[in-house]
Structure 1
Amino acid sequence: MANGWGRARKTVGEASRLIGRSAAGAGRATVRAGRGTGRATVRAGRGAANGTQWVGRATRRLTYAQGAGRTGLGQLIELTAAQSAGDALVTAALAGTLFKLPVNEARGQVALYLLITMIPFVVVAPFVGPVLDRFRSGRRFVMAGTLFGRGLLCFAMAAAIIPGDVFTIFPGALAVLVLSKAYSVSRAAIMPNVLPADIALVTANARVALFALVTAGVAVPIGAGASAWLGAEWVLRGATVVFLFQGVLAVRLPRHVDSPDLDLEEEGGERPPRWRTMFNVGPVVAEAMQANVAIRLYSGFLLFYLLFLVQDGKLPGLAPAVTIGALAVAAGVGGLAGTAVASWVRTRSPQIIVLSTLALSAVTTVVAAVVFTLWTAVAVALVASFAQGLGKLALDAIVQREIGEEVRSSTFGVVEAFLQIAWVIGGLAGLWLSLFAGGSAGLAVMAAALGGSLGWLLLRRRRRSDARDARVEAARAAGPRAGSDAGTAPDDRPAAPRERPWPDPPGTTTAVVRRDDPPAEKRTKPLTNPHG
């Protein structure tokens, strides 16, 4: 009996020891698994952090390439890209209330929407531009003010979203748009001050626009998803943080972004009336503006004309939603392609670029009017967006090169206003023609308008060239003394300012330049940029 109990106890003890060893082994395995999981998690976190750092370093290499980090252009690119993301968040948050395009509603409501979009530009042209010109010595703070102002407006609109206070949301949204355009005008005006010696103006403008498009394209789906999940008020609060942080960074831009006030009395001249200088911009800028006005009118026409053709069933081939998606994708690809091409054509003349985009638009529209199908409509949407993006970048470069510091912001304000008015007029024309004209007829009208604009601009350019050649021949025939006098009063334009030795000392500025044949871009570097 005792032996039986002993054997039983021994068996139980061995079983207990086996269970204990198994439990210990399982515990050690669990610990090892936990350590492995923890190390894997840490490695994954480090990998994500390394990936983020790699993307950040790659982005910084792109924005600071070719001396852009030394002159401040890289910082300006990053600042503009971030504020573009903030604007995209605001658009995504308000898409369901204010800025949703009412395609399926009455044409009268769409026309009202178009007219409302003109309000901020009517404010920018006569008021914001001259104010920015008067504060050239504090442009960093002006840009920071536009960012801080948008941040505070977003905070106020976020508080008004839940109660549905339209009287706060609607004026706030228009004010955000005004400040956004004021930032764009100021940014375009300071571009020559941060331009490196190895980058042309068109390329620099394209680099800024490219990063702004990419960040906006990333921010829009994020903002739309967050708005659907958390609510529009939280997206606006996020935009508030973005704008306030970027306002701080705007103040930290290099000091040579600011331009000293121009004292014309020291130059022996008088300051011309501002309104006269704003509109008398010379033939080169005027030609580029007129070509871009035609392209922008064409773009606005196509947007609303094609949308209502799809709504009315006059553009068959695919389902309406798919057709609209194809047109939208084509427009997006065209805008991105225009920016990419602008960064590639580094040594081309911006005047030739502008006229080439107008000619491309006219030829494509003629082909689409003759053979009107869904895919030719997609092609004209792509070409219109391409021409609008590339032509506007070339126009910016021309204004930055040809217009002096004293009225550059005002000129950009006038340019933005004219382009927006042209877009609205084109959109209204598209609404009207979509009532009774089919696809071919409407595109034929626009082809005639584009072809007429191109022919008129080429004819004026030829006349200016002939007049210049005649003056040169007359000067040569009259001799050196008469030739020097003859060159001081060309046709109906004021005499150009005296030529200065290159480079001028830092801190000086150029006057408004009006000439038919400007020198190369690298000879018109801003005199306020010590790094150029």
Structure 2
Amino acid sequence: MRSPEPDKRGAEAFFVSPFMRLARTHAIGAASDAAIAVTLAGSIFFSISPDDSRGRVALYLALTMAPFAIVAPLLGPAIDRAKGGRRLMIIGTAAGRAIAAFLMIDNVDSLWLFPLAFTILVLQKTYSVAKSAVVPALVRSEHDLVGANSRLALISAVSGMVGATVSGVLSLVGGPAFAAAVAMVGFVVTSVVATKVPRTVVAAEPAEEIEKAELRDAHVLLAAYATAILRGVVGFVTFLLAFEFRGGKEGLDISTLGSAAGGLTATARGVDISGDPAAPVWHFGVVLLLAGIGALIGAHLAPNLRERVAEERMLQMVLAIVGVGALFAAFSNDLFGAAVLSFVIASGAATGKLAFDSLVQRAAPDANYGRSFARFEARFQGAWVIGAFVPAVIPLNLVVGGFGVAAAAIFALVSYLIGKPAHEAVPWSSIRTLRPKGAGATPPAPAGTIDDSPAESPSTTPGQAESNPAELTIEDLRPSQPEAPAGTADFAYGWGNAEPIVSSVDGVEVDPIAETPRPPQRPDDTDDSGR
């Protein structure tokens, strides 16, 4: 007898499922972005004097704000209504980055590198917005959405480290142009693979009032502000460390006899002629490596932590840890402190983003998640640019920058604690289940049982569910109850409220039928003795 063939559905799902098609696109794109970072580390971008480049960097950062402050609010709804609109954005951003990387190959030592680098930056962040919009439509259910975002974050971290390693080795062999070539090939492959992502309609209809009310809930707004500050801190630290390791000014050239004699005289008079040379390239490698490890750990830790701790507590813990890490970097003022800061910021940003996604699902069950996540992501990317703008314009060292990050994190934490709703009582350790759309009403009693539940409270308008503590009942905090077993109709006066039947106490058997159990008193029952 021939044995049955193995089930190939798992392998087929891995290669052809809609989510895995997006995951492959995301992985190749993340590796290519890492190759761009390696290209910049060995190019004129980090060798030119910071004083000469601050104005240019600030200008390009200001231009980077345009897509998120102007274009996204105007064109975003139209793109969401078009079938395949966000997929077209993914393909276009990958193709645009491939062209920019190709132009980088011959311009790694030219000032043209600056506009090319910021073009790639804008396209990369536009891709992040488009990705956030299509993920909800590519998962099997809303319960899988947070897990899908976690897997994408893990894929990004691993692929980024692989891309940085490959391009770094080639850069050591042939220079930064080789790393740019790796990025170009990667983006071309990304654009081709992205054509396999399904064409979906993110939001066919405008947002309804209930969706707007849920997204304006205090829990969502506080979490959004905290996540935006975290994203701004990421941009701030990125450019803070970039300028910190580049050095401030060039030293005196003493290659000729006259300049050497002048330098000797200046040294005798106490004048510093060594300048502030740029840090070795491997310093950038250490910071990038720690950032990748931090993002990997954060993406891996967040789903497990979410099953034990409420999302609000996760965000608050992340802000506290970021503040402590920033203070450590400020007091250490060395490469180790910068690496710790990079690790803490990357892991905190990954954990905080996944916590925010989960909180939105919990607090806004009637929202269109594709549209909502795209809008929030556009705002977060704008916060990143604003954070990066500060160290690009104002010369800051690691000490001042570390204290600034700590102040921002502490401010966000205190604001979160003060601004939370007064009735909020989320335990530090709580295991919850995501509530599907339309949930919240108490399910009808099973057949054969006596309905002994309290009368239904009056309906409320959207947005009052979180602000009125009287609406929070035990049924909202427990999963749906199973059907009552056969033969329990005489005892289960309310299967959802039934207590476990004790069969023995200290070894002495107890007959549960010996005495008819008395139903629990209703909240609206009153004592008839006084009538």
Normalised TM-score (structure 2) = 0.60
- Cα separation, 1, equivalents of 2:210 and 2:37: 41
| Cα contact 1:129–1:409 (8 A) shared by 2 | no
- Cα separation, 1, equivalents of 2:409 and 2:20: 37
User: In structure 2, what is the equivalent of residue 388 of structure 1?
Assistant: 349
- Candidates 337, 362, 377, aligned match of 2:297: 337
| Cα contact 1:357–1:390 (8 A) shared by 2 | yes
What code does the residue aligned with 1:76 have?
A: L
| Cα contact 2:235–2:384 (8 A) shared by 1 | no
Distance 1:367 1:340, change over 3 A: same
- Cα separation, 1, equivalents of 2:329 and 2:202: 48
- Cα separation, 1, equivalents of 2:196 and 2:162: 21
| Cα contact 1:358–1:454 (8 A) shared by 2 | yes
CA deviation vs aligned residue, 1:121-161 (integer Å, no higher than 9, x gap): 43134323553432335554532453245326634763685
- Candidates 352, 360, 367, aligned match of 2:321: 360
Residue 228 of structure 2 is aligned to residue 286 of structure 1? no
| Cα contact 1:143–1:247 (8 A) shared by 2 | yes
Distance 1:399 1:119, change over 3 A: farther
Distance 1:232 1:425, change over 3 A: closer
| Cα contact 1:151–1:239 (8 A) shared by 2 | no
Distance 1:388 1:312, change over 3 A: same
Larger radius of gyration: 1
What code does the residue aligned with 2:27 have?
A: A
> What is the CA-CA distance between 1:163 and the residue it aligns to?
8.5
| Cα contact 1:154–1:236 (8 A) shared by 2 | yes
User: In structure 2, what is the equivalent of residue 84 of structure 1?
Assistant: 30
- Cα separation, 2, equivalents of 1:132 and 1:395: 21
User: In structure 2, what is the equivalent of residue 14 of structure 1?
Assistant: none
> What is the CA-CA distance between 1:189 and the residue it aligns to?
1.8
User: In structure 2, what is the equivalent of residue 117 of structure 1?
Assistant: 61
Residue 423 of structure 2 is aligned to residue 488 of structure 1? no
- Cα separation, 2, equivalents of 1:329 and 1:145: 29
> What is the CA-CA distance between 1:209 and the residue it aligns to?
1.5
- Candidates 211, 222, 234, aligned match of 2:155: 211
> What is the CA-CA distance between 1:386 and the residue it aligns to?
1.5
SS at structure 2 position matched to 1:465: coil
- Candidates 243, 254, 260, aligned match of 2:190: 243
What code does the residue aligned with 1:337 have?
A: I
| Cα contact 1:151–1:241 (8 A) shared by 2 | yes
Distance 1:296 1:427, change over 3 A: farther
Distance 1:138 1:102, change over 3 A: same
What code does the residue aligned with 1:194 have?
A: L
| Cα contact 1:132–1:142 (8 A) shared by 2 | no
Distance 1:377 1:240, change over 3 A: closer
SS at structure 2 position matched to 1:345: helix
What pairs with 1:472-487 in structure 2 (closer than 5 Å)? 484=458, 487=460
What RMSD, in angstroms, separates the aligned Cα atoms of the two structures?
A: 4.9
User: In structure 2, what is the equivalent of residue 18 of structure 1?
Assistant: none
Residue 204 of structure 2 is aligned to residue 261 of structure 1? yes
| Cα contact 2:322–2:348 (8 A) shared by 1 | yes
What code does the residue aligned with 1:85 have?
A: A
What code does the residue aligned with 2:78 have?
A: R
Distance 1:443 1:161, change over 3 A: closer
What code does the residue aligned with 2:63 have?
A: I
User: In structure 2, what is the equivalent of residue 414 of structure 1?
Assistant: 378
Taking every aligned residue pair, what percent have the same amino acid on both sides? 21
What code does the residue aligned with 1:220 have?
A: A
> What is the CA-CA distance between 1:244 and the residue it aligns to?
3.7
User: In structure 2, what is the equivalent of residue 424 of structure 1?
Assistant: 388
> What is the CA-CA distance between 1:335 and the residue it aligns to?
2.1
User: In structure 2, what is the equivalent of residue 74 of structure 1?
Assistant: 20
What pairs with 1:95-494 in structure 2 (closer than 5 Å)? 101-102=45-46, 105-107=49-51, 109-110=53-54, 112-128=56-72, 130-136=74-80, 138=82, 140=84, 142-148=86-92, 150-151=94-95, 154-155=98-99, 158=102, 162=106, 174-197=118-141, 200-223=144-167, 228=174, 234-235=181-182, 238-239=185-186, 241-250=188-197, 253=198, 257-259=200-202, 261-262=204-205, 281-305=216-240, 311=247, 320-321=279-280, 325-347=285-307, 348-366=309-327, 375-399=336-360, 402=364, 403-404=367-368, 407-408=371-372, 411-428=375-392, 431-434=394-397, 439=399, 443-463=402-422, 465=424, 484=458, 487-488=460-461
| Cα contact 2:291–2:343 (8 A) shared by 1 | yes
Distance 1:367 1:417, change over 3 A: closer
What code does the residue aligned with 2:218 have?
A: P
- Cα separation, 1, equivalents of 2:296 and 2:143: 20
Distance 1:201 1:236, change over 3 A: closer
SS at structure 1 position matched to 2:72: helix
SS at structure 2 position matched to 1:488: coil
SS at structure 2 position matched to 1:147: helix
> What is the CA-CA distance between 1:369 and the residue it aligns to?
5.3
- Cα separation, 1, equivalents of 2:103 and 2:344: 42
- Cα separation, 1, equivalents of 2:98 and 2:242: 31
> What is the CA-CA distance between 1:102 and the residue it aligns to?
2.6
Instruction: Give the helix-richer structure, 1 or 2.
Output: 1
Q: How many correspondences in the alignment?
A: 403
SS at structure 1 position matched to 2:46: coil
Mark the runs of 5 or more structure 2 residues left unpaired by the alignment: 1-7, 250-277, 426-453, 481-531
| Cα contact 1:158–1:234 (8 A) shared by 2 | yes
User: In structure 1, what is the equivalent of residue 269 of structure 2?
Assistant: none
Distance 1:94 1:387, change over 3 A: closer
> What is the CA-CA distance between 1:359 and the residue it aligns to?
1.4
> What is the CA-CA distance between 1:377 and the residue it aligns to?
4.7
> What is the CA-CA distance between 1:106 and the residue it aligns to?
2.5
> What is the CA-CA distance between 1:379 and the residue it aligns to?
2.9
Normalised TM-score (structure 1) = 0.60
Distance 1:414 1:494, change over 3 A: farther
Distance 1:305 1:491, change over 3 A: same
- Cα separation, 2, equivalents of 1:125 and 1:165: 32
- Cα separation, 2, equivalents of 1:416 and 1:105: 30
> What is the CA-CA distance between 1:294 and the residue it aligns to?
2.8
> What is the CA-CA distance between 1:212 and the residue it aligns to?
2.0
CA deviation vs aligned residue, 1:268-321 (integer Å, no higher than 9, x gap): x7899xxxx6997432332122212333344444455556666479xxxxx953
> What is the CA-CA distance between 1:461 and the residue it aligns to?
0.5
What code does the residue aligned with 1:484 have?
A: P
Stretch deviating more after TM superposition (376-385 or 204-213): 376-385
Distance 1:426 1:201, change over 3 A: farther
- Cα separation, 2, equivalents of 1:397 and 1:422: 25
> What is the CA-CA distance between 1:188 and the residue it aligns to?
1.0
User: In structure 2, what is the equivalent of residue 502 of structure 1?
Assistant: none
> What is the CA-CA distance between 1:200 and the residue it aligns to?
4.6
What code does the residue aligned with 2:217 have?
A: G
> What is the CA-CA distance between 1:208 and the residue it aligns to?
0.5
> What is the CA-CA distance between 1:428 and the residue it aligns to?
4.6
| Cα contact 2:160–2:292 (8 A) shared by 1 | no
Distance 1:286 1:158, change over 3 A: same
User: In structure 2, what is the equivalent of residue 507 of structure 1?
Assistant: none
